[in-house]
């Protein structure tokens, strides 16, 4: 739990208003020697409050969902990681492989469909960030796979290879901007959680430059950063399923330092 919130909750007799502009939207206080925390008219056990953690794709302190589902984040993260891993090895031209067609099945079904489903389940769990991230990147992988499927007539519509490269560069640049937005809302989370989106954003940036420059070196560098991104995603996925009951190796959150005062 963030230090300033923890200090606030330690005082049983203290209550505070959470303001949106000039309008009071919630009152926070504790009861029963700090065992319970009240957000407005909602009451939660202090131990049940969700903190920032990559294993659940939760970027900050929040109340638990009222729906009793399993955690879909590891599924979405794993789908993202494996698809990213394979494509990134191809972008890096590992073992001389440069044709990306082998990733089409992964991008359409695992990285695409499965990740999209995980994103929708995150929405049911009231995790807006998880739904946005997994749902969007599920759409990314399906749209990426469609580029290489002749039936969609996307790549074949460009007679000039340079025009196609520029179009792909614009496509990847848009995802770079979107991923940077996600980075901004994970700066108060954990190191692996934040690192996942930082490395992903660098990957998108390098790949977009590789098409727009054009630069084979940037594309290969993007492949290397993509492989690192995949392993960070797997790390966060493992954090969401490993616990003392099923594994000897569990993951604890490494919180990023927080500066200033939360509003």
**pLDDT surpassing 60 at residue 82:** yes
Q: Which of 130, 123, 126, 128 is nearest to 80 (CA)?
A: 130
Classify 68 as helix, strand or coil.
Answer: coil
Residue 33 Rama label (left phi>0; alpha psi -120 to 50; beta): left
Residue matched to tokens 């794993």: 78
The DSSP result for 189-209, as a single string, is SBHHHHHHHHHHHHHHHHHHH
Residue matched to tokens 């430059």: 209
Which one has a higher pLDDT value, 44 or 183? 183
Task: Please list, in sequence order, all residues whose beta carbon lies within 8 angstroms of the beta carbon of residue 216, skipping any fewer than 6 positions away.
Answer: 210
Q: What integer pLDDT is reported at residue 83 of this predicted model? A: 98
Share of the chain above pLDDT 70, in %: 78
Region 170-195: mean pLDDT is: 97
On average, the pLDDT of the chain sits at: 86
Region 25-35: mean pLDDT is: 60
CB 193 within 8 A of CB 40: no
H or E stretch covering 88: helix 73-91
Which one has a higher pLDDT value, 39 or 181? 181
**Beta bridge mates, 15:** 29
Q: What is the value of pTM for the model shown?
A: 0.80
Q: What is the DSSP letter of 40?
A: T
Q: Which two tokens stand for residue 5?
A: 């919130």
Classify 249 as helix, strand or coil.
Answer: coil
Q: What integer pLDDT is reported at residue 19 of this predicted model? A: 47
Classify 42 as helix, strand or coil.
Answer: strand
Q: CA 227, 208, 136: angle at the middle one, nearest 5?
A: 70
Which one has a higher pLDDT value, 50 or 138? 138
Quick: pLDDT tens for 50-81. Answer: 677 788 888 876 776 767 788 999 999 999 99
Q: Is 70 exposed, middle or buried (0-12, 13-18, 19+ CB in 10 A)?
A: exposed
Q: Which of 193, 223, 221, 181 is nearest to 77 (CA)?
A: 193
Q: Which two tokens stand for residue 18?
A: 């959470």
Q: What is the 3-state secondary structure (H, E, C) of 2-31?
A: CHHHHHHHHCCCCEEEEEECCEEEEEEEEE
Question: Residue 8: which pLDDT band, with cuts at 50, 70 and 90?
Answer: very low
- The span from the CA of 226 to the CA of 88, in Å, is 5
Tell me the chain's radius of gyration from C-alpha atoms: 21
**pLDDT surpassing 70 at residue 233:** yes
**Beta bridge mates, 39:** 28, 42
Region 77-100: mean pLDDT is: 97
CB 44 within 8 A of CB 64: yes
Residue matched to tokens 């009451």: 43
Q: Which of 60, 50, 55 is nearest to 76 (CA)?
A: 55
**pLDDT surpassing 50 at residue 2:** no
């Amino acid at each position: 739990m963030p230090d300033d919130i923890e200090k606030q909750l330690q005082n049983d007799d203290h209550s505070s208003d959470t303001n949106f502009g000039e309008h009071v939207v919630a009152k926070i206080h504790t009861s029963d020697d700090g065992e319970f925390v009240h957000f407005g008219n909602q009451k939660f056990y202090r131990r049940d409050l969700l903190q920032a953690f990559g294993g659940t794709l939760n970027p900050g302190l929040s109340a638990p969902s009222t729906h009793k589902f399993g955690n879909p984040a590891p599924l979405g993260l794993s789908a993202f990681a494996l698809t990213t891993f394979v494509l990134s090895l191809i972008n890096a031209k590992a073992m001389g492989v440069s044709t990306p067609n082998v990733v089409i099945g992964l991008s359409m079904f695992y990285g695409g469909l499965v990740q999209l489903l995980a994103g929708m389940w995150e929405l049911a769990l009231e995790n807006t960030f998880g739904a946005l991230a997994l749902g969007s990147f599920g759409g990314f992988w399906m749209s990426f796979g469609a580029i290489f499927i002749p039936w969609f007539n996307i790549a074949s519509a460009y007679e000039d290879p340079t025009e196609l490269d520029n179009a792909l560069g614009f496509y990847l640049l848009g995802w770079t901007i979107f991923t940077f937005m996600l980075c901004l809302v994970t700066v108060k989370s954990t190191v692996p959680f934040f690192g996942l989106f930082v490395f992903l954003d660098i990957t998108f940036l390098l790949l977009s430059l590789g098409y727009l420059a054009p630069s084979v070196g940037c594309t290969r560098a993007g492949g290397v950063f993509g492989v690192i991104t995949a392993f960070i995603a797997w790390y966060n996925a493992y954090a969401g399923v490993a616990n003392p009951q099923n594994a000897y190796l569990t993951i604890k959150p490494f919180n990023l330092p927080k500066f200033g005062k939360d509003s």
